[in-house]
Amino acid sequence: MLPFTRINRNIRSLKRYRQVLGVLIKYGFGHVIEELNINYYLELGKRIVTLGAKTQDIERLTQPERLRMAMEELGPTFVKLGQILSTRPDLVPKEYTEEFRKLQDKVPAVDFQQIRQQIEKEFDRPITETFAEIDPEPIAAGSIAQVHRARLHSGEDVVVKVRRPGILKILETDLDILAGLAYLVENHLPTSELYDPSGAVREFRRTVFREVDFTREGLTTDRFANHAKDIKSAYTPSVYWDQTGETVLTLEQVDGIKVTSFEELESQGLDRKKIAENCATILLEQVLVHGLFHCDPHPGNIMVLPEEKICFLDYGMIGRLDDELKQQLAELLVAVLQRDAQRIISLLIYSGDLTEDIDRGALKRDITEFIDDYYDLPLADFNTGRLLTDFVDILNRYRIRFPADLILLAKALVTLEGVARQLDPEFNLVFYLKPQVEHLVRARLSPIWMSRDLVALGRDYGSLFRQLPQDLRELVHRVNHNKFKIDLEHRGLERLITDLDKSTNRISFSMVIAALVIGSSLIMQTDKGPMLFDFPILGLLGYSIAAFLGLGLAVAILRSGRM
């Protein structure tokens, strides 16, 4: 039996663990709990959870709907997880991503007294010394933070984002539970290795803890502001660092018009077509020039300023593309434009992670059909969002894991195209994307870029040849002294060990019952000792104990669902 600490060494609250399991069972995922053998691992002298029946109302819902409702009931960590998974169609099926998009982290606002204490704790001074005025009523309240309007002593109007008190402890506990569940999933569900649950939880932990550190968000906002200096149509709110810390972020209040407030835009004489063009130009500049882009350009995060200037809000979730990823993206798009299916497969092999048993012939056929579906389309009928969605569907079908940032980019482009087409029904992202990609490819082939690549390549090979003699010497030394070891990991045996343990216990139990029956039968033949109704009491007692134990064994077997 694996020790409980192996499942999760950092669980701070067994009560919370039981609550999570109880909610999953409530929404019809008891079979998953059974598959993971959680009751076995959490044996504490009694059954931790009781697998109950779903209510009729819940039974009518689809599995994605039930999982979404379970996440909402479990609170901020699981809501945030669902929101992130909604952007990862490469990890979860389409019906789940669509359902997870409905997740809302709108929760009742924290009492302003707690917000005041959080601000005073952050800056170690009375709130009146930090802000001249602050509105006690929040303009937005989420599971991680809430936002208030305020005014500085220097007179500037600002918005203040304050982290909810106590949210870190909740996140840490829930993330430990998720890590424990991921460990069990990997060891009991063989197909889960395609999705790397533990790796996904580690990435989620990294993402969510970066998001709750408002100092990082402030630095990111400043970086976007610095990049936007070269784009006349872009505007980024200023960060007030004297009023910003790990739990408090103070930004310039931007008075603009929401990008989908069409009547107000037209009343101000703003050109909707130009606004759509500026949105596309800014995002593509972020991606292909700076390699740092806004991951969630939905209407609530886009404000329109005078002269069709665009202001993106909320830089808590961003994506990054290094030079290598940008080049892979450019080559992939060029291969699509050139109808080169073999080149696309080569890029997928290099950039992604293909399973060993993949049918490459079928993959080539599907990619060729994918290209044919879009190649001859008139530009007016071209839909970038549908193209990216279809491409991700192919990745999912063949279990190809692609870099997460490229998947986030696909989601950002789809979202932006949807917003832009509301502004301008004739908008087409390819019109703006194609020249940017061609420019990136030309730049990659320039002498300056190629010489830089050659220098980097020479440096890498130089390091390799300098280190190689030492590595070979170390290898020979280990072999000669019998210190050369190869670590092998047997995966999937824990379930077998568990089942064997259960089977052995049942056999032993059955043998004890059989011994009691045989012993009691022998005693019944002796007619000695205390008697009851002309039968030896010891024989009757033995039969009774054997019947009780046999009934318990039968119930246990029936509850497990395995005869």
Q: What is the mean pLDDT of residues 507-523?
A: 78
CB-facing half-sphere around the CA of 336: CA atoms within 13 A: 22
CB 30 within 8 A of CB 24: yes
Q: What is the mean pLDDT of residues 29-57?
A: 57
Q: What is the mean pLDDT of residues 501-513?
A: 77
pLDDT at 7: 45
Task: Give residue 48's pLDDT band: very low, low, confident or very high (50, 70, 90).
Answer: very low
- Does the pLDDT of residue 335 top 70, yes or no? yes
Residue from 375, 12, 357 nearest 176 by CA: 12
Q: What percent of the chain has pLDDT over 90?
A: 21
Q: How many residues does the chain have?
A: 563
Task: Give residue 561's pLDDT band: very low, low, confident or very high (50, 70, 90).
Answer: low
Task: Give residue 53's pLDDT band: very low, low, confident or very high (50, 70, 90).
Answer: very low
Q: What is the mean pLDDT of residues 113-134?
A: 95
Tell whether pTM > 0.75.
no
pLDDT at 226: 92
Task: Give residue 446's pLDDT band: very low, low, confident or very high (50, 70, 90).
Answer: low
CB 189 within 8 A of CB 166: no
Residue from 258, 270, 356 nearest 303 by CA: 258
Residues 6+ apart with CB under 8 A from 556: 506
Q: Pick 378 or 93 by higher pLDDT.
A: 93
CA dihedral 210, 212, 215, 216 (to 10 degrees): 20
- Does the pLDDT of residue 541 top 60, yes or no? yes
pLDDT at 1: 40
Q: What is the mean pLDDT of residues 68-81?
A: 87
- What is the residue type of 492? G
Report the range out of 1-15, 282-296, 313-327 with the highest average pLDDT: 282-296
Report the range out of 238-242, 299-303, 370-374, 393-397 with the highest average pLDDT: 238-242
User: How high is the mean pLDDT of the chain?
Assistant: 79
Q: What is the mean pLDDT of residues 100-115?
A: 83
- Does the pLDDT of residue 138 top 80, yes or no? yes
- Does the pLDDT of residue 496 top 60, yes or no? yes
pLDDT at 116: 95
Cα four-point dihedral sign 149, 151, 155, 159: negative
- Does the pLDDT of residue 209 top 50, yes or no? yes
How far is the first Cα of the chain from the last one, in angstroms, to the nearest whole number?
A: 22
- What does residue 413 show for φ and ψ, rounded to 5 degrees? -65, -40
Active site residue 271: no
pLDDT at 20: 84
Q: Looking at 296, 372, 390, 405, which residue is catalytic?
A: 296
